Structure 1
């Protein structure tokens, strides 16, 4: 048979779109009081991402220490269970005792590796701009976890003969089996990673007396920065870069890798609703001006869905009586990249607010006891 006999794309209708999810628990659509919405939306999010809010495990071992560009760095390994341990790095300014108010910054990397946040010799400088190192150099205690599926955690089953559970590595074939295997077994990479972050903050509290955590993340780390604190009682402020626009634009428009995929999420919630569950915590949403859709930008975080998403987020914060606690920042002439100067200024503002008597957002306030507006 001649090849020309086969049906060609131009002979077909190829304009398919998945029907838009109804977002039944979106704040603007649910028709609920703030307290009732928060309770139901948080419960549904817990179910969708498959999070255990009190995960077992979390024993941490300190492997080695080094001094790097004025920062004391401790390499850590946390035992999740008998079959998995995950690395992290504690950064502190050299020669400076821990802050008297017992705070730390949780730094969350995007698609890449922790070495791109630390300024490791010989590593290509990318969009992270060594932001964890910059935070510590500015005086902050920083916990930088390597996230599941990246770097040394590229293959979660590397020591199981004939098996692999992989996610991300530059320049290699990426089948995302860690993600698809999780889906088949009722798990998500988002949920498993959130549980690791809850373990890390619990260790910070028990080992170092950390009472309050500020979270900073970019890209996948920005997604986590908006989502993980929903389940935390210690997070007081969030700096989320390269995130928030609707889930609808992430995959079909931007061609993103699927770490932030949550099965069924658009039937109930979108990113603005998830971020809004953090109200009234202070939340800064950041983009690079040039991080827009295009043939050379798979991130495309500053896309056409951002204005509406931010307005919906702002309405949730306004309903919580905290309209001034959420802010949008766009760095001129920048792409999908961290703005260290802006991040440091945001954290400095939080410090100044506390010095002038502002109290950290309490567990009770975040988790549902704000009066309805």
Structure 2
């Protein structure tokens, strides 16, 4: 929770308010002591400017409400455009190896590493109790900003160890580390000349993992979706699970809505702290850029992306107190949620599945997972 709510203050420190500047950046030639300077009173101040800039006029050309064809035609065209904007490519299966395992609170936790190619391997944790309640379904647990380890039980934060709690409830759970976080915080860690980091860095947050991907027509969320599909294929091929339910919070909630669009195995979707409009979530709610998709509002919004999952059951969750404010950089329960929910329900209605969309707002709760509601949803 603290990491989510301190982002703005951390950024201001990084930008120069209280941040120590390295000596190498402060070195300059000595100046003549007698030289005079233009006084500061001369220079223009922001109070003398008009600074109410914002982007507007999103076209949303492929939003369901604007589409004149059939729901099935909309789904294909919108899905194909989304794949293009994400820079998404259908991945091939990859091999993974078990590194180590442990027992914790009645759950067996296995640490696996998948080799994507010669330059990249990615980690995930497989959790199960001794007598799983279901033998035909698994759960993909997707963490948000922070790290994967708290989901599995290293400490408690806004995830509330939901991967561990689901395993204790009888689910087999796969909890992958996502690009840009935890052990994947610097994707070029093995190259001393390069820094492709995101959430945590000794050099400050420049989000180079995001900006570098944009230069190549890629997005980090698109590449993360490819990783999750690789893990999904591995689960199916090695553990025999044909149906995968999905649960995620915050950025993990964004991914939980988007990755199933490209999957044929996903059953149920639980998305916490997400699904309001893209418009304003960066400038107004001060979100970090992991879920940024260049040009997305020219074609669609988050309600359309979620609607591409119709007719799968989808549960949206928010904390009642997770609203915009100077100390909340998630602000997922904002004024765009209800209009987006209405758009989502309209899409599901067109597919004859309006009853499959549900909403839970947890009273007196912030940006955090509701474990009881999650377990109840996945038990159905």
Following superposition, the deviation at residue 58 of structure 1 comes to 1.9
Structure 2 residue runs without a partner (length 5+): 1-37
Residue equivalent to 1:317? 348
Match of 1:225 in 2: 256
Instruction: String of CA shifts for 1:176-207, please: whole Å, max 9, x gaps.
Output: 10110000011100110000000000000000
Structure 1 unaligned runs (5+)? Answer: 350-373
Q: CA deviation at 1:11?
A: 1.1
Q: Supply the RMSD in Å over aligned alpha carbons.
A: 1.2
Aligned counterparts of 1:170 and 1:286: Cα–Cα separation in 2: 31
Q: State the Cα distance separating 1:172 from its structure 2 match.
A: 6.8
> 1:326 & 1:30 partners in 2: Cα distance?
21
Deviation at 1:99, TM superposition (A): 3.2
**1:138: which partner in 2?**
169
What's the TM-score once normalised by structure 2's chain length?
0.88
Q: Is residue 114 from structure 1 mapped to residue 145 from structure 2 by the alignment? A: no
Supply the distance in 1 between the matched residues of 2:117 and 2:339 (Cα, whole angstroms). 42
Aligned to 1:92: 128
Summarize the Cα distance change of 1:81–1:103 in structure 2 as closer, same or farther, 3 Å threshold: same
Q: Which residue of 2 aligns with 1:365?
A: none
Task: List per-residue Cα deviations over 1:228-277 (Å, max 9, x = no partner).
Answer: 00000000110000000000121011110000000000000100000000
The structure-2 alpha-carbon separation of the partners of 1:343 and 1:174, relative to structure 1 and needing over 3 Å to count, comes to same
Say which is worse superposed, 24-33 or 205-214, in terms of deviation: 24-33
- What is residue 12 of structure 2 aligned with on the other side? none
TM-score (norm 1): 0.90
Distance between the aligned counterparts of 2:203 and 2:365, measured in 1? 27
Q: Please give the secondary structure, in 1, of the residue aligned with 2:180.
A: coil
Contact 1:20 1:266 in 2 (8 A): no
Structure 1 residue aligned with 2:82: 45
2:95 pairs with one of 44, 47, 59: 59
Distance in 2 (CA, whole Å) between partners of 1:62 and 1:305 is 43
What is aligned with 1:36? 73
What does residue 14 of structure 1 align with?
51
Deviations 1:119-139 (CA, angstroms, capped at 9, x unpaired): 21xx3x211000000000000
Distance 1:169 1:89 in 2: 21
Deviation at 1:35, TM superposition (A): 1.1
1:17, distance to aligned residue in structure 2 (A): 1.1
Question: Which residue does 1:354 correspond to in 2?
Answer: none
Equivalent pairs, count: 343
